Amino acid sequence: MIGIIHFTNCYLADNSQLVKKDLYIDTKQGIIIDGSSIEKENNECKEGNQSEAKVEVIDLDGNLISPGFIDIQINGCFGLDYSTTFEDSQSKANFVLHYTESMEKLLNHGVTSVCPTVTSSFSNVYNDVMMIIGLKTRSSTKTDSLGVHLEGPFISPLKKGCHPPETLTTMENGYQSLIDIYGEEFEKYTAILTAAPEVDNCLEVIPEITKDNKIAFSIGHTMSDFETGLQSIKNGASMITHLYNAMPSLNARNPGVIGLTNTTQDILPSEKIPYYGLVSDGIHVHPTNIKSSYFANPGKTILVTDAMYLIGLEDGIYKRGNQEIEKNGNLLHLKDTKTIAGSATHLIDCVNNLIKWTGISIEKALATVTNNPAMSLNISKRKGFLKTGCDADLVILTPQGEIKRVYKLGNRIV
């Protein structure tokens, strides 16, 4: 047997627990395997005087193994904006090349899977990029796409954030409105769809969006009150996009969408509580709110970067369509305004911020970028966990949260 790696002297960070245990991976299949079968086979080989299975043993010197990180809301990175349209075949070819290169670079930061996010756009943007960034992959050399996160354009004009107002629309023609904007085959390439439930006909369309659990509907960029948000969950919504941002504040008598994260059992059974994204960059949401939201429902908290294409670039003023975005460190604003324009913070930094602001252990924090996003997308049998059969997408970290190595399908990247 060739291509087995045996990690030893390590701690597995999985299911919000830290367990000292060895881990075996099959690099040929790119999956985690049951180590007991390897040991049994070797013992049988010894007894029969046969050659043992060929295993590479790696001593991790007491470091941690985490599943690869999953970012379900990332708008671009390293100079590539996912919300792009092409002028000609050459610009398309350049985009594909840049996309491949940026997904390779993302692995260096422990992010092994993403939902590339397209913000509110006209139909030509979706028609151009959907089949590229929405193509679901399983690569040993670059970050995987799990399908596109469509953030808009069916959102509230009052909570548009930095989304171009001219692109916003309603579901006037029901499900056909989605096809008109996103294209005939959008379901094939989509993992998450963010919309405002109060948009015309949205509540009626949610069941069709979420049928067969192929697409997750996420409440976002909304003026919805608590009751409207509750109805959207009853209709099939299972997520909330970047909690606190682009939604009404929590009110004593109307908790709004934020109140859906920890409501009473008689109103919403615990299993129906939606997963919710948090941008823990210290800019989008105050650390106090990050702390309270995490403890409201740790098993439903998902850290996201909401990163723009400016992540990894120098500070300065950058064009995005008809807008200008000012980058100052991790802070992104529309030029000359206080409107936040996404983030430039890496996911591992968000994890370490969560640890600092909540006082939780690293294994609990890591669950918010591994186990929880995998469960939210119904992919936990193959991604986001350290269990037999899952892809060997791994991040090796120190107990202090510093990335030391990254493996993609068992292939060492860093």
Write the DSSP string, 264-282.
Answer: -TTTS-GGGSPEEEE--SS
Chain centre distance of CA 32: 21
- Supply 7's token pair: 């990690």
Q: Note if 200 is an active site residue.
A: no
What kind of fold does domain 4-66+397-412 have according to CATH? Urease, subunit C; domain 1 (2.30.40)
How far apart CA 393 and CA 372 sit, in angstroms, is 16
- Among residues 306, 349, 391, 393, which one is catalytic? 306
Q: Would you call 80 helix, strand, or coil by DSSP?
A: strand
Per the structure block, which two tokens stand in for 100? 């491949």
Selecting from 3.20.20.140, 3.40.190.80, 2.70.98.60, 3.20.20.80, what CATH number does the domain 69-385 have? 3.20.20.140
Q: Which amino acids are annotated as binding site for substrate, given as ranges?
A: 162, 245-246, 253, 284, 340-342
| Spans in the chain with pLDDT lower than 70 | 1-2, 39-53
pLDDT of residue 47: 55
| Contact partners, residue 81, CB within 8 Å, separation at least 6 | 75, 308, 309, 320
Binding-site members are 151, 162, 221, 242, 245-246, 253, 284, 340-342
Upper half-sphere CA count for residue 176 (Cβ side, 13 Å):
2
User: What pLDDT is stored for residue 341 in this prediction?
Assistant: 85
Direct distance between the N- and C-terminal alpha carbons of the chain, in angstroms, rounded to an integer: 25
**Residue 89, Cβ neighbours under 10 Å: how many?**
8
Reading phi first (left if > 0) and then psi (alpha if -120 to 50, else beta), residue 97 is in: alpha
Contacts of 31 (CB under 8 A, 6+ apart): 25, 388, 389, 390, 391, 392, 409, 410
Closest CA to 350 of 191, 242, 250: 242
d(CA 347, CA 303) in angstroms, rounded, equals: 8
Query: Which pLDDT score is estimated for 40?
Result: 63
Question: Which of 377, 235, 357 has the alpha carbon at shortest distance from 302?
Answer: 377
Amino acid 372: pLDDT: 98
pLDDT score for 325: 93
pTM here? Answer: 0.95
Domain parsing of the chain, residue ranges: 4-66+397-412, 69-385
